[in-house]
Structure 1
Amino acid sequence: MKKITTLIAAFIYMGLSAQLPDNLDYVSPFHEGFAAIQKENKWAFMDDTGNIAIDYRDDFYWNTDAKASYNDIRVIAYPQFSSGRCVVQKIVDGIPMFGFIDTSGQLVIEYQFLNVAPFQNGLTTGIIFEKVFRGKNEFNLDIYEFKFHEVLMDADGNIIEFLNRRDNIQMTKRRYRTPEIRSKILNGNLIAVEKDNLWEIKKLDF
């Protein structure tokens, strides 16, 4: 009996001590039950028991120069969940596109943002684009038209409201600059939207 008890204790100890992350470059605070951990340029998420919940990957967005005063993607110092969503990115033709994964690591909002704010109160604002095929030119090359909108979106990827149309965004790597977000979610009831260098306050009606 004593031998069995000793074996059980040994297994429990091994279970508690094995597989805990080590040799980490950074460990973030917990957000919504998950903490981001970094090894070199890859990040993973661990749960509150220290187990890896989402394995290491290189598509999480983070910004070493993050500031709380930013109102867009640049505010994200390290990967974190908000409203059950975390920003991921991919580079397409030299331009970063942003989407969101859920807490299982699955992509739930497609890479459609040129700039986006973290979720708060289940909502985000961001700039999405549409790439519309218009035909071919005399050299038989595809011709596309790009349309840009600043939108209010919920955590399921549904557009709640089109806030404004965006123009003059260059979609070539050499000329591209991340477009500025001109709206701020103030709380669960109000949003501020900038138009012609002036701000207006709008109610969020669902």
Structure 2
Amino acid sequence: MKKVLIILLLIPVFALAQTTEELDLIATYNDGIAAIKKDNSWGFINKKGVIIINFRDDLVLTKTDDGKYPVFYNNRCLISEKKDGIQYFGYIDKTGEKIIETKFLNASNFNNDVALALEVLSQSMGKNDILNKPIVNYKYFEVIIDTEGNVKEYLNPKGNNIALDKKFIKSPPKITSKFITEDLVAILNENNKWVIKSIK
């Protein structure tokens, strides 16, 4: 009877312990969690070594001083998804749930609750009567978004025309703007000159 009681008492302890083995890479902790790699997939562990986000293949790698791996900033991690052959970017939270839809042509990691992204907007230009199809013009804009994905600021109000077709978009367009302080962003204008703008 004592042996049965001891076994029953030890089962919950063993059930709570978790061993993660056979990993290809363990990144440094960032935002309280660390990326782990197994084969070609990435996941995340907490500070107790428990896997909190299972292995998946849509996480975007960030170049750091000690390698390239997915990272969390402001409780957000970049993900990407191909739609009609074009790569779009969004974000997950620490539960692994998609918190910002994959709708941006490019996006940066969050910093101080904001990120840079390329938002695509379409404008109807009429209709092609011969093909019986709408004529649509697409532009992308460099924007600042908050942690919910809402656009806070348009950095290039004129936008850039783009053919939204996988034949023309082989890789994500570059984000040219950059944060230089928490409150200032540097924007590269059409004359290839830098303009400094306050975002507060």
Fold similarity call, TM over 0.5: yes
User: Structure 1 pair 132/101, CA: closer, same or farther in 2 (3 Å)?
Assistant: farther
Q: Which residue type is aligned with residue 177 of structure 2?
A: S
1:192 aligns with 2:186: yes
TM-score, L = length of structure 1: 0.82
1:175 aligns with 2:176: no
User: Structure 1 pair 132/77, CA: closer, same or farther in 2 (3 Å)?
Assistant: farther
2:145 to 148, 153, 162: 153
SS in structure 2 opposite 1:125?
strand
SS in structure 1 opposite 2:23?
coil
Asked if the contact 1:190–1:201 (Cα under 8 Å) also holds between the matched residues in 2, the reply is yes
Residue 12 (structure 1) aligns with:
13
Alpha-carbon shift at residue 107 of structure 1 (Å): 1.1
Alpha-carbon distance in structure 1 between the residues aligned to 2:70 and 2:166: 25
Alpha-carbon shift at residue 13 of structure 1 (Å): 4.9
Residue 30 (structure 1) aligns with:
29
2:88 to 97, 113, 121: 97
Residue 71 (structure 1) aligns with:
none
SS in structure 1 opposite 2:139?
strand
Alpha-carbon distance in structure 1 between the residues aligned to 2:124 and 2:95: 34
CA offset digits 1:86-108 (Å, max 9, x no partner): 01110112111000111111111
SS in structure 1 opposite 2:28?
strand
User: Structure 1 pair 33/2, CA: closer, same or farther in 2 (3 Å)?
Assistant: farther
CA offset digits 1:25-48 (Å, max 9, x no partner): 211111111111111221111111
Residue 61 (structure 1) aligns with:
60
Alpha-carbon shift at residue 183 of structure 1 (Å): 0.9
Alpha-carbon shift at residue 84 of structure 1 (Å): 0.7
SS in structure 1 opposite 2:29?
strand
Residue 197 (structure 2) aligns with:
202
* CA RMSD across the alignment: 2.4
Residue 121 (structure 2) aligns with:
130
Moved over 4 A (4+): 1-7, 132-136
Unaligned runs of 5+ in 2: none
Residue 72 (structure 1) aligns with:
none
Alpha-carbon distance in structure 1 between the residues aligned to 2:70 and 2:21: 18
Unaligned runs of 5+ in 1: 69-75
User: Structure 1 pair 14/101, CA: closer, same or farther in 2 (3 Å)?
Assistant: closer
TM-score, L = length of structure 2: 0.84
Q: Which residue type is aligned with residue 150 of structure 1?
A: E
User: Structure 1 pair 26/142, CA: closer, same or farther in 2 (3 Å)?
Assistant: farther
Alpha-carbon distance in structure 2 between the residues aligned to 1:94 and 1:131: 18
Residue 106 (structure 2) aligns with:
115
